[in-house]
Homo-oligomer: A and B are copies of this chain.
Amino acid sequence: MGAVYVVGMGPGGLPHLTLRAMEVLKAADAIVGYTRYVELIAPLTADKEIFSTGMTREIERCEKAIALAREGKTVAMVSSGDAGIYGMAGLVMQVAMRRGEPVPIEVIPGVPSFVSAAAILGAPLMHDFASISLSDLLTDWEKIEGRLLAAAKADFVIVLYNPKSGKRTEGLKKAVSIIAAHREGNTPVGIVRNATREGEDAVITTLSGFHLYYDKIDMLTIVIVGNSTTFTHEHRMITPRGYKGV
């Protein structure tokens, strides 16, 4: 029996891989992943069996990884960011379980996309935060709305994943208006597209000014809304931790 390693590659390309992730990729017999992510690590995988597919074929990739491991191979399933945050880690465990095909699975943690987005913006996540995906493909919109309202009222810094896609454009407007009903208009909002990848683009605006950037936002964008204490200084978004004397 082989094994499946679900490897978080970090936000983009080789520089953000951990040494442990690098080691696992080098030792793997086979690499399974979404085509774009497999390409990012091509320098490490030249001599390996590759199974890559486009977006929306997640379950097929899990089945393939499990089958290869059951043939005795060491398989690395690659995921952008961290594989455990809206990623493939849970899915491959579920697929192995439901199919009755147990196989050793280990998750190799990576730098999540929202963490690298925060680093580009400054330090918006120094205090309690809530992460909410706006994709209603797999979640009822009422549940998403309930979480937005709860997070807004309780003054969490709010991270929005999957804010907007080609087809799904209204959710983000609703989300921002729910949050804006409970925060000042001048609350800082950071928008980061392609964090640490080619085409990286970051801007800091406010809840009131957010609509100006609406068209630039897509599925590769992370939005971070500050809490009641977050401020902007010299193009940096900072949420104070609360130390006295600073």
Contact = CB atoms under 8 A, between A and B. Distances in A.
A105 to B, nearest CB: 8
A18 B87 contact: no
Given A90-B123, A130-B128, A238-B94, A138 B18 contact: no
In terms of DSSP, what is the predominant structure of the interface of chain A?
Answer: mixed
Name the residue in A128, A147, A153, A236 with the highest tally of chain B Cβ atoms < 10 Å from its Cβ. Answer: A128
Nearest to A111: B109
Contacts of A122: 89-90, 93, 107
Contact of A151 (B108, B111, B154): B154
Contacts of A174: none
Work out how many copies of this chain go into the complex: 2
Given A17-B18, A118-B84, A107 B129 contact: no
Interface stretch (A8-16, A165-173, A211-219): A8-16
A17 B19 contact: yes
A180 interface: no
Interface string A143-168: 11011011101111000000000000
Contacts of A125: 84-85
A119 B89 contact: yes
A86 B82 CA distance: 19
B17 A236 contact: no
A53 interface: no
Contact of A126 (B86, B95, B147, B245): B86
A36 interface: no
B130 A233 contact: no
Nearest 9 CB-CB pairs, A to B?
Answer: A90-B123, A138-B242, A150-B154, A107-B119, A90-B126, A89-B123, A130-B130, A150-B150, A15-B20
